[in-house]
Amino acid sequence: MGFGTETMAVSGLPMAREPLEELLQRVRPRLKQVLARYRIPAHDAEDLMQEALISTIQKWEQINDPEAWLLITLRNRCVVYWRKRRSSLYSTVDAAILELISEPQAAPQEKAELRWDLNLLLQALPPRCQKLLRLRYALGYDSDEVAAEMGYHPSSVRKVTRRCMSALTNQMARGGYLKKD
């Protein structure tokens, strides 16, 4: 593919397309800034850059502003990266909470210790999060029941639950309860 010889029309005027290699050299500092702003770990930054570049190359003929396209694509990849990471953390916490309150399968002393640790973590959360998580996971309330009990609109319960789970996840990470990848 000869990227350097292509032309594109902008406002009816043909314009020579900058070769991809030159574009990368010119925007490299800005790409690094995007990765730094989103605090992407170095071992994942290269993968996100490659994904953004592949997307750019695939759409090269249709792109009017390759620099803007590449930067926005990288930003979008960074957002998706953190959404997936948060989601996996929430799943870990959900599984841990469900495991703690499910029928006993662990030794009674181990389960008691886990409940003790979970209660300590919950006590560090705001009162509304404590109540919401206890209603949702310990008592098994569904979203409508939690909304009625706490005076929330039913559609906002999921968002508030995510925020409370995020706060609990942060408490668990600070307390050393979560393993790093």
**According to the model, what pLDDT value does residue 76 have?**
93
The two tokens of residue 101 are 């309150």
Higher pLDDT, 104 or 46: 46
Model confidence pTM above 0.75: no
Q: Is 6 helix (H, G, I), strand (E, B) or coil?
A: coil
Q: Is 176 helix (H, G, I), strand (E, B) or coil?
A: coil
Give me the mean pLDDT over the 29-37 stretch. Answer: 93
pLDDT in tens, 160-177: 988 988 888 888 888 777
Beta strand pairing call for 13-16 and 7-10:
antiparallel
pLDDT in tens, 65-108: 999 999 999 999 999 988 888 766 666 666 667 666 665 555 67
Q: What is the SS3 assignment for 89-145?
A: HHHHHHHHHHHHHCCCCCCHHHHHHHHHHHHHHHHCCCHHHHHHHHHHHHCCCCHHH
